Amino acid sequence: MTKKETGLKIISQNKQARLHYEIGETYEAGIALVGTEVKALREGKCNLTDSYAVIQDGEAFLHDMHISPYSHGNIMNHDPLKVRKLLLHRRELKRLYGKTRERGLTLIPLRIYFKSGKIKVELGVGRGKKLHDKRQELKRRTDKREMERAFRGKIKG
């Protein structure tokens, strides 16, 4: 965690995103929510696994982010899979629109967190990995883990 991120309380992360996509740039966006969605997020009931962002008509929208209904909500509780609007500056929207028009690039939410009492989404501009790239990545991780384990064993022994 960097110095800028110390005041963050992470609600949910998309751990599979870095396995399935090569993430280039990242952007921080606000998100327009209703009251029961905010309360459900405070309980940590969010899933980013299959979600993605789209830019339409000069606005950014987050699709397929699942926020479970608030446990103490009534009949006016929110729809768990509704499309939610992302709050970005106009120049960021233009830049992201240009990037998403490139072949193979997409916007993936990497994590959702609280920052100074506001709910923020970290968006990554990613290109999908091929199957052999994913296998290489998994092999590299396991090799690194085994080297660290072996190194730790030599220090103790």
- Both structure tokens of 41: 């997020």
Residues 90-133: pLDDT tens digits?
Answer: 999 988 888 888 777 888 999 899 888 888 999 988 888 788 87
pLDDT tens per residue, range 130-148: 888 788 888 988 999 998 8
Select from 3.90.1720.10, 2.40.50.100, 3.30.70.20, 2.40.280.10 the CATH code of 10-129.
Answer: 2.40.280.10
Domain residue ranges in the chain:
10-129
3-class SS at 148?
helix
User: Using CA atoms, how far apart are residues 157 and 145, in angstroms rounded to an integer?
Assistant: 18
6: confidence class by pLDDT, cuts 50, 70, 90: low
Q: What is the pLDDT, as a whole number, of residue 156?
A: 63
List CB contacts of 133: < 8 A, sequence separation 6 or more: 22
Cα separation, 113 vs 125, whole angstroms: 18
